[in-house]
């Protein structure tokens, strides 16, 4: 099962852009539809996650997470640190935003590219 961002008017696509190899970095660049608001939220969520890991699933300090909303999310997760991960994911289920992500089997995806990994192409030489 593959999970992709749902493409809508809030996530404008850049027509004509396709995956391409960047020879200077030896990486495959894959353009993605995005919105600035989503990227800001994703970045904030990633920072909360990194702080929770650094604090070994304990509540990060106010210096580590200065915004009240970030502290609230971190507290919700750190309060559950002794629960099984799958139970925490089940508890998050009612909070998800339907329609934000679209799940498809790889066989249902059109085109040549099924998956891409952020790993440089390995060459002998």
How many domains does the chain divide into? Answer: 1
pLDDT tens, residue by residue, 35-81: 777 788 888 999 999 999 999 999 999 999 999 999 999 999 999 99
| Separation CA 30–CA 18 (nearest Å) | 7
Axis-axis angle for helices 68-78, 36-54 (nearest 10): 50
Domain extent, residue 67, equals 57-95
pTM of the model: 0.55
pLDDT of residue 20: 84
pLDDT of residue 87: 94
User: Does some domain include residue 51?
Assistant: no
* Average model confidence (pLDDT) across the chain: 77
Phi, psi at 25, each rounded to 5°: -110, -10
Task: Average the pLDDT over 77-105 and give the result.
Answer: 84
User: Does some domain include residue 74?
Assistant: yes
User: Does some domain include residue 41?
Assistant: no
| Separation CA 43–CA 51 (nearest Å) | 12
């Amino acid at each position: 099962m593959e999970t992709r961002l749902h493409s809508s008017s809030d996530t404008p696509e850049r027509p004509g852009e396709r995956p391409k190899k960047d020879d200077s970095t030896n990486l495959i660049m894959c353009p993605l539809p995005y919105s600035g608001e989503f990227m800001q939220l994703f970045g904030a969520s990633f920072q909360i996650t990194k702080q929770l890991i650094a604090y070994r699933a304990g509540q990060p300090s106010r210096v580590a997470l200065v915004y009240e909303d970030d502290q609230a999310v971190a507290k919700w997760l750190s309060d559950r640190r002794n629960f099984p991960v799958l139970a925490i994911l089940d508890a998050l289920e009612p909070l998800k935003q339907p329609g934000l992500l679209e799940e498809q089997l790889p066989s249902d995806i059109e085109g040549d590219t099924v998956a891409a990994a952020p790993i440089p192409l390995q060459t002998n030489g």
